[in-house]
Structure 1
Amino acid sequence: MRPARVPTAKLQGYGVRWDPGARCYRVRNELTGEWLRDSAGALAGFGSFSAADSAWHVFEPHRRVA
């Protein structure tokens, strides 16, 4: 089965992006270009920015500044 493609031109933001078609936030690892998917392999969608942002911080590791 072919993975679902997300029209990136319509998604705005860095890492956490609003998908106007699905009316939810999507999470992307900007280092690898990979989209966060659920356990079934479908694109993960989040109803709130804070939930998507938390998932993004786990999905795309960031260096911690001490």
Structure 2
Amino acid sequence: MRHDQLPRLHGYGVRWDAEADRYRVRNEMTGEWLCRPTGEPAAFTFFGDAYSAWRAFEVHKRPGEK
């Protein structure tokens, strides 16, 4: 696949937004994006921060969780 054919957002739950050069968080069950109180999509510089936000944002249990 050529570079210009790559999807702009890719991944699972925590997604890389190449245009913004930031991670974004998505609830994969509902398709809802995590937003700031202002309504703009939340963006994270570090994967660990985005992953922590995703774990709090996505409410269903993932495989292996109790």
Structure 1 portions without partners, runs of 5+: 1-8
State the partner residue of 2:32: 34
Q: What is the TM-score normalised by the length of structure 1? A: 0.81
Counting matched residue pairs gives 58
RMSD: 1.3
Runs of 4+, deviation exceeding 6 Å: none
Instruction: Look up the SS of the partner of 1:13 in the other structure.
Output: strand
Bigger-Rg structure (1/2): 2
Q: Within 1, Cα distance between the matches of 2:65 and 2:33?
A: 25
State the partner residue of 1:21: 19
Cα deviation per residue 1:23-66 (whole Å; 9 max; x = unaligned)? Answer: 00000000000000001000000000000000000000242634
Q: What is the TM-score normalised by the length of structure 2? A: 0.81
Q: Percent identity over the alignment? A: 53
